[in-house]
A and B are shown apart, each in its own frame.
Chain A
């Protein structure tokens, strides 16, 4: 999500709106914003001011920036402008809550453990109502988005009420769907419109539960995925390469083949060294030099089992060349960086790049590819 700092005028609390007109000039850019609930208009200006006084609800930053028609933004009284939804983008995310029932050892987010947890389902509903794209795609994430199932359903209902063409990618641990009734209810709205992406970190329940910090986590997640699939919802299994599962990664992949043979896709992911992952780095980190053989083996098993597989978050120069075709440009634009050496690389444009938080750990492994 893109965010900007500026000054808000005549705005109390948070104001949601959609950019309905954009006009660039030599000195900056002006936007007309239609506010939520038909509550009138607001004015956004970046660059030099054209007039002296803001009489209406307005926001201004001296640094020039760009918004597009259809972008949904949130203006706060403290001067923040957040682009909640970028028109036409396939990278939009609704982060619906900070809360989670898991405490993953390598979680790249600051999950609020108790007190002060923020749910944003209602705010996401406001954003959804403003979206005007013809077929919007959004990732729903958290925390754990299904931690408040009723609110989750409310959000999906809101989206589909405003436009039947919404589709969703739900990043969930699926444990809530161990309750069959919930899976069934979700299917009523989401069958054919959503992919549920569920992380499985080990074939051993003890190890998986240890990683996610929750007893019974593996069985609940597995059962949840079974229930979703049984109701016809598309599922994807995701796993992260950790020091906990690296030495038995093949067994994990066999477990996926045998317990989720219906999965539409399996993603094998590199870690993002931020938040919990950074704190626990000495326990979870795997040097990229150890990836190669493990991934070759895993991809081969999944391929032989006719299961689609991709590799996320690992730069091409840290993968054997025969795995390049499985690698995906998976890192969101606002998180990605490149090493200096990358400018000499001939496959830079096909590469996922490096998480900004990982750069200092993996920079020494960057080897520019010369064609």
Chain B
């Protein structure tokens, strides 16, 4: 059979476009549809120069992953296009994530709050019924058939009436042929029994914050008068579960105070019955920006902490305990499956506006949460699209701000990104880059950080340990 290969394919083949980078385990090749392969230096040289002597099996492998073809046919190009569209499905899906800030007030004053929330007793920061109605009206105009409405704040439960009001419009949204899901992002400090019943009855998912055990959680997540909140979160969490509601997720914020104790965080997540943890770095907006001296860590520190905790997580799995890390799983999904995955901060073009919109309490509309922060912290309107009281979705999408943001975030056209081996899986957050260059006058090496993580993830995909390879693959295909 190998002889046949040599005769038929292997003396003449056409290269398809690919990226490459030399790594400790060989030359890594990737392409636009997300396929990847590792070649030894010698084989890479032969492959690129179409030299003889490369093993037929290797060429077959490269052919099956669309790195080369014997003959370009219309059918093959159509299949390649289908694979490319599958990766970029989010462009066709249109805005499905709608974040509504029902209030800017908060009953906590977290040290790293990037939302710069107001005091709990001011009421001017609440969304009105009028604004909520106009917001829902604009959500209805999104062509997307899958609508996810996320209530944010401040602490959204402080204006529970608006949550109730919007959730009650489910029928209207479904009447327009849309599948609707709701999420409330709450610190779980103040959820009454009646409110809990409403959330459970209406199948509203809960997303809360948990920074680990009390000694870590209470470092940053404190109430306005100064006390910790860990016990309260855990207590409300178990109340939800006692009532049969398992749809509660938790988010972690990594900062200088807990970056060296992430194993305690993972232990706490497991103790509380979570099967995944999201090792999420700081977002330098709002109070987080002001408190940088006590919060910020060096990028190298984050990367090495990330690797350490991943090894810890892998060890748990080897012992039969199911646990995964969200960022790793999302990237693995991009690398190992034909699909993309929703992660608005990291896709090309960026997900702002086309995947997610942020509606502030006063009706202002932004491309993303970070865009709202830029406005609140620095009165910068570069990513402000309009206001539900003034204009409508079609005008927002024709605005210069959307066009510029999308144009600037197409990785494929950015020098340096356009030929990066990780480009098929990566993306930029234009708001973050805008902020870093405008505010600090420097371009932080965000790219270096992402590359280091990609390199780490690929080292696991090509691990010599079969258990690790299978584990990573199962993370990619789960959900």
Query: Which residues from chain B contact A300 at a C-beta distance below 8 Å?
Result: 470
Query: Which residues from chain B contact A306 at a C-beta distance below 8 Å?
Result: 477
**Within 8 Å of chain A (Cβ to Cβ): is B69?**
yes
Distance between Cα atoms of A178 and B75 in the complex (Å): 7
Is A203 touching B60 in the complex (CB atoms < 8 A)? yes
Query: Which residues from chain B contact A206 at a C-beta distance below 8 Å?
Result: 5, 8-10, 60, 63, 70
Is B60 touching A223 in the complex (CB atoms < 8 A)? no
Query: Which residues from chain B contact A57 at a C-beta distance below 8 Å?
Result: none
A-B interface pairs (CB < 8 A), number: 87
Distance between Cα atoms of A219 and B63 in the complex (Å): 12
- Per the 8 Å Cβ criterion, residues 250-292 of A in contact with B are 251-252, 254-255, 257-259, 261, 283
- Over the window 289-306 of chain A, the binary record of Cβ atoms lying under 8 Å from chain B Cβ atoms (1 yes, 0 no) is 000000000001100111
**Within 8 Å of chain B (Cβ to Cβ): is A103?**
no
CB distance from A143 to the nearest CB of B (A): 22
Pick from A202, A220, A226, A257: contact of B82, CB under 8 Å: A226
- Per the 8 Å Cβ criterion, residues 139-159 of A in contact with B are none
- Over the window 42-74 of chain B, the binary record of Cβ atoms lying under 8 Å from chain A Cβ atoms (1 yes, 0 no) is 000000000000000101110111000111010
Whether A207 contacts B338 in the complex (CB less than 8 A), given A219-B75, A304-B477, comes out as no
Query: Which residues from chain B contact A254 at a C-beta distance below 8 Å?
Result: 64
Please name the residue on chain A nearest to B479 by beta carbon.
Answer: A306
Please name the residue on chain A nearest to B466 by beta carbon.
Answer: A297
Is A219 touching B76 in the complex (CB atoms < 8 A)? yes
Is B75 touching A207 in the complex (CB atoms < 8 A)? no
Is A247 touching B473 in the complex (CB atoms < 8 A)? no
Query: Which residues from chain A contact B71 at a C-beta distance below 8 Å?
Result: 215-216
**Within 8 Å of chain B (Cβ to Cβ): is A210?**
yes
Is A207 touching B60 in the complex (CB atoms < 8 A)? yes
CB distance from B44 to the nearest CB of A (A): 19
**Within 8 Å of chain B (Cβ to Cβ): is A205?**
yes
**Within 8 Å of chain B (Cβ to Cβ): is A248?**
yes
Please name the residue on chain B nearest to A180 by beta carbon.
Answer: B78
Query: What does DSSP make chain A's interface, helix, strand, loop or mixed?
Result: helix
**Within 8 Å of chain B (Cβ to Cβ): is A310?**
no
Distance between Cα atoms of A210 and B59 in the complex (Å): 15
Is B73 touching A210 in the complex (CB atoms < 8 A)? no
Q: How many residues of A contact B (CB 8 A)?
A: 34
Pick from B8, B69, B79, B339: contact of A226, CB under 8 Å: B79
Query: Which residues from chain B contact A172 at a C-beta distance below 8 Å?
Result: none
Query: Which residues from chain A contact B10 at a C-beta distance below 8 Å?
Result: 206
Query: Which residues from chain B contact A251 at a C-beta distance below 8 Å?
Result: 60-61, 64
Please name the residue on chain A nearest to B477 by beta carbon.
Answer: A305
Distance between Cα atoms of A210 and B56 in the complex (Å): 14
Whether A304 contacts B473 in the complex (CB less than 8 A), given A207-B1, A222-B75, A261-B337, comes out as yes
- Per the 8 Å Cβ criterion, residues 70-114 of B in contact with A are 70-71, 73, 75-76, 78-79, 82-83
Q: How many residues of B contact A (CB 8 A)?
A: 31
Distance between Cα atoms of A321 and B430 in the complex (Å): 54
Query: Which residues from chain A contact B60 at a C-beta distance below 8 Å?
Result: 202-204, 206-207, 248, 251
Query: What does DSSP make chain B's interface, helix, strand, loop or mixed?
Result: helix
**Within 8 Å of chain B (Cβ to Cβ): is A120?**
no
Is B470 touching A258 in the complex (CB atoms < 8 A)? no
**Within 8 Å of chain A (Cβ to Cβ): is B23?**
no
Query: Which residues from chain A contact B299 at a C-beta distance below 8 Å?
Result: none
**Within 8 Å of chain B (Cβ to Cβ): is A5?**
no
CB distance from B470 to the nearest CB of A (A): 7
CB distance from A84 to the nearest CB of B (A): 36
Query: Which residues from chain A contact B9 at a C-beta distance below 8 Å?
Result: 204, 206
Please name the residue on chain B nearest to A225 by beta carbon.
Answer: B79
Is A223 touching B64 in the complex (CB atoms < 8 A)? no
Is A259 touching B79 in the complex (CB atoms < 8 A)? yes
**Within 8 Å of chain B (Cβ to Cβ): is A243?**
yes
**Within 8 Å of chain A (Cβ to Cβ): is B235?**
no
- Over the window 1-19 of chain B, the binary record of Cβ atoms lying under 8 Å from chain A Cβ atoms (1 yes, 0 no) is 1001100111000000000
Please name the residue on chain B nearest to A246 by beta carbon.
Answer: B1
Is A258 touching B338 in the complex (CB atoms < 8 A)? yes
Query: Which residues from chain B contact A209 at a C-beta distance below 8 Å?
Result: 8
CB distance from B235 to the nearest CB of A (A): 36
Distance between Cα atoms of A202 and B339 in the complex (Å): 22
Is A216 touching B73 in the complex (CB atoms < 8 A)? yes
Please name the residue on chain A nearest to B5 by beta carbon.
Answer: A206
Query: Which residues from chain B contact A305 at a C-beta distance below 8 Å?
Result: 337, 477
CB distance from A146 to the nearest CB of B (A): 16
**Within 8 Å of chain A (Cβ to Cβ): is B474?**
yes
CB distance from B71 to the nearest CB of A (A): 8
**Within 8 Å of chain B (Cβ to Cβ): is A191?**
no
Distance between Cα atoms of A223 and B59 in the complex (Å): 22
Query: Which residues from chain B contact A244 at a C-beta distance below 8 Å?
Result: 1
Query: Which residues from chain B contact A215 at a C-beta distance below 8 Å?
Result: 71
Is A205 touching B76 in the complex (CB atoms < 8 A)? yes
Q: Would you give 24 A-B contacts (Cβ < 8 Å), ordered by A?
A: A203-B60, A203-B61, A203-B64, A203-B65, A204-B59, A204-B64, A206-B70, A207-B1, A210-B8, A216-B73, A219-B79, A220-B75, A223-B75, A223-B78, A248-B61, A251-B60, A251-B64, A252-B64, A254-B64, A258-B338, A259-B79, A259-B83, A304-B470, A304-B474
The 4 tightest CB contacts between A and B, nearest first, are A203-B64, A204-B60, A206-B9, A219-B75
**Further 7 A-B residue pairs, CB within 8 A, beyond A204-B9, A216-B73, A247-B57:** A178-B75, A204-B61, A207-B1, A210-B4, A216-B75, A248-B61, A254-B64
